[in-house]
Structure 1
C-alpha cells in the first residue's frame, strides 16, 4: 500500500522528476561502462596465459640490416648461453611476449572451408620447455619432425575449436593450410594442443593461436627474440654477464634484455590506462551528478513544504517523512536504472561486443553500477530528507 502511494506521488510530479531521472540514467550508463571494463579485466585475470614469467627473461635483437637465418649463428648463441650456470633453457621466437606486437593470418581447413583467423608466433623446438608451456594433448615439435612434408605446429584450445569444430579432442595429426600462395600453399600439421596462449598476458582477450615450428637455417625469416629460462633466484645483475656473452659472439647486435616479471608489470600498467582514465572521468561526472541530484532534491523538497507540513499536522512522525523522501529517491533511481537496463541488455543479446561483454561481465557490471547509483541517491537525499523531516505545521501554515 505504501509503495503504491509513493509511486502515485512520483507520477504526479513526473515533469519535475524527468530531469532527475535523466541524470540518474546518465550516471548509471556511465558507471556501467567502467564497471564492465573492470569486471572483464577481473575475468581475464582468472584465465591462464599458457606460459610462465617468473624465471623467464627476454632478449630482443636489433640490427641495422635484417637478421639472416643462419643455423650456425643460432647454434653458437644457444650453446654459449647454455654454458652459463644461470641458464637452464634457450629458445628463439619471432615476437616478444608482454608487448603489443601481434601477427595474424587467414587459414583454411583441409577441405578448403574457412577462412579462420589465427594469431601466429613462430618458435623454436625449445620454446615450450623454456616458457613452461603445458601440452594438453600431443607433443611439442622437435627434431623428430625434420624432413616432414608439412610444417609442424602447436595450437591452443581456441584454435582447435575454430579449425576442427566437433573434433577438438582429435585435433592432433589434422591438417590445415595457408592459402595466401595459391600456387604453393603452406600446409600445417597439428602435433600438439596447449590449453591457452595469450602472448600479451593476463588482460589479453583469448584468441585462436598457432605456433609454427622455426628451424634455424630453414626458410628466410630469422627469429629476433631469444627466450631464456633461468635458475630461480637469478639476480637482475645477471643482465651484464648475459649481454657480455652475446656481444662476444655477435658484437654488431644491439640488445634489449628484459626479465618477464618487469615486462609483465609494464604491460599491465599500459593495459590499465584506459580503465584508469575512464574511472577518473566517471568519478568526476558522478560528483557533478551528485551535486545536480542534491540541488534538484532540495528544490523539490522546498516546493513540497505545504504537503509535508500537512502530513506533520496529521500526526506523521519526522522519521516517517525522512524515510519517505529517501524511499521516493530510491524508487526514482530504480525506474531510471530499469530504463537503462532495458537499453544495455541489448548489447549481450545482440553480441555486438562479442565475448568482451558476456553475461557474467554484464550482470557483474549491472550489480556494481546499481550499488553505486543507490549509494549516490542515498547520500544526495540524506540532507534534503532531514530538512523535510524538521518542518513543522506552523511552517506549512506560514508558507500558505
Structure 2
C-alpha cells in the first residue's frame, strides 16, 4: 500500500515538490519556535535566586568636586549611612551598573590551568548586597567589613561557575587561575544562581567582587531594600537626599519589579516574531494541502469513481488521499530532521540537547497533526463521490 502511494507521489513529483518545500520550511520555523519556547519555559521554571520585590535601584553620576580620596570615601559612607537610617529602609548597599534587569553586562574570561570559561559576569558590590537582595549562600560565607582591609585575593562565585570549575567537589578554600598567576583568587563563598537577565534567561556565570574605596567614583548604583507599603512620598525624600549629595547629577530611582516586567517583554520579542512567521507559513501549508487535494480529487474523479464501482469503500478512498498527504509530510520531515539534529550535535547556541530533541519531537507531531487535519475534509469529500456520476462525467 505504501509502496503504491509513494509511486503515485513520485510520478507527480513536480506537482508535489512545492508542497514538500513548504512543509519543510514550516517544520524548521516551528522547530525554532518550540526550541525558543522550551528553553524559555525551562529557565522560567527555575527560581530567580533572590527577592527583587521592594528593592529599588538608584542611579547617579559621580559629580563631587573634591579630588581628595578620603573626602570622597567619607561622602559616600555618610550617604549610605543616611539612607539606612530612614525608617522605611531595610538595608542598602553600593553596586556596579550590571544590577539585575539592567541589560548591562561586565564580562570576562577565566583560564584555570587550561580550563577556559568565557562570558563570566563580573559583579562589584559591598558587604550589604547579600541582605539587600535576599540572596542565599550555599557554601562558605559572604564578605564582611574586615575583608576591606585584607590583602588576600578572595572571591565569591555562583553555583554555576563553581560546578564548571570544580564539579561536585567543595570549592571553599580552593583557588583558580594559571599556575604562573601570582594573583590567583581564593574562593570564600558560593552564592546561589541569580537570574540577572529576567525570568526567561538562565543565570550567567558570576564572579562577585567586593569593591574597594577607589570604586566609589564609578559604581553608579545604590540598591535599597524598602519595607512593604513604601509610597511615592518616601521616594521623593530619597531623591532629594541624593540630589543634595550629588549636585548636577542625573538621579533616577527604579523599582526592580518594574524593570523585570519590561525586561521580560523585550526577551519575548523574538518568540513573538517567530510565532507570527510560523503562523503565516502554517496558513500557506494548510492552503497548499487543501489546494493539492482538491486538485487531485477533480483530476481523479474517474479513478475514484472506478474504484468505488468495483467495490472500494469510501473509507478506502479517503484513506488513500490522507495517506498521500502524510507521506508528503514524512518526506519533508526526514529532510527537516536531518538539519534539526545538527543543532544538538554541534552544540549550537550552547543549549542542552534535550531542548532541541523536545522541540524536534513537538514540531514533528505538530506537522503531522496539521497535515492530518487539512487532509481529512478533502478525503471525506472524495469518499462521497458517487460512482455513476463520476463515470458519467468521465
Normalising by the residue count of structure 2, what TM-score does the alignment of the two structures yield?
0.89
What is the number of residues matched between the two proteins? Answer: 389
Q: How big is the alpha-carbon RMSD for the aligned residues of Structure 1 and Structure 2?
A: 2.7
1:188 matched residue in structure 2? 185
Q: Deviations over 1:175-233 (max 9, x none)?
A: 23599xx9x96443211101313322222233321011113x24575311110111123
201, 205, 215: which is aligned to 1:204?
201
State the alpha-carbon separation in 2 of the partners of residues 230 and 161 from structure 1.
Answer: 34
* 2:158 aligned partner: 156
Q: Which stretch of the first structure deviates more once superposed, 64-73 or 84-93?
A: 64-73
Indicate conservation of the 8 Å contact 1:67/1:222, yes or no: no
Query: CA offset at residue 258 of structure 1?
Result: 0.9
Aligned to 1:281: 277
- Residues 227-266 of structure 1: CA deviation (Å, up to 9, x unaligned): 0111123235532222123223333332111111100000
Partner-residue secondary structure (3-state), 2:125 = coil
TM-score of the two chains, using structure 1 as the length reference = 0.88
Equivalent of residue 101 in structure 2, options 94, 98, 103: 98
Query: Does the C-alpha gap of structure 1 residues 359 and 6 become closer, same or farther in structure 2, counting only changes over 3 Å?
Result: same
Equivalent-residue separation in structure 2 for 1:126 and 1:67 (angstroms)? 26
Instruction: Note the C-alpha offset of 1:105.
Output: 1.6
1-structure distance, mates of 2:129, 2:83? 15
Residues 336-380 of structure 1 show CA distances to partners (whole Å, capped at 9, x for unaligned) of 21321122112101213322xx23212331233223323321342
Alpha carbons 2:61, 2:246 under 8 Å: kept: no
Structure 1 position 22 matched with structure 2 position 18: no
Partner of 1:396: 390
Work out which of the residue numbers 219, 224, 228 in structure 1 matches 2:224: 228
Partner in structure 2 of residue 81 of structure 1: 83
Structure 2 equivalent of residue 322 of structure 1: 318
Structure 2: distance between partners of 1:107 and 1:221: 26
Q: Secondary structure at the match of 1:391?
A: coil
Q: Report the Cα offset of residue 154 of structure 1.
A: 1.2
Structure 2 CA distance for aligned equivalents of residues 138 and 390 of structure 1: 76
Query: Residue 140 of structure 1 corresponds to which residue in structure 2?
Result: 142
What pairs with 1:229-378 in structure 2 (closer than 5 Å)?
Answer: 229-355=225-351, 358-378=352-372
- Give 5+ residue unaligned stretches, structure 2: none
Partner SS state of residue 348, structure 2: coil
- Kindly provide the CA deviation profile for residues 55-94 of structure 1, in whole angstroms up to 9, marking residues without a partner as x: 2111111356899873212211211111211110101111
C-alpha deviation, 1:5, in angstroms: 5.1
Counterpart CA distance in 2 for 1:380 and 1:170 is 57
Following the alignment from structure 2 to structure 1, what is the Cα–Cα distance between the partners of residues 9 and 239? 73
1:277-301 Cα offsets, whole Å, 9 max, x none, are 1111221222122222222222122
- SS at 2:56's partner residue? strand
Instruction: Give the match's secondary structure for 1:173.
Output: coil
The structure in which a higher percent of residues are helix is 2
Kept in 2, the 8 Å contact 1:27–1:289? The answer is yes
Residue 313 (structure 1) shift = 0.7
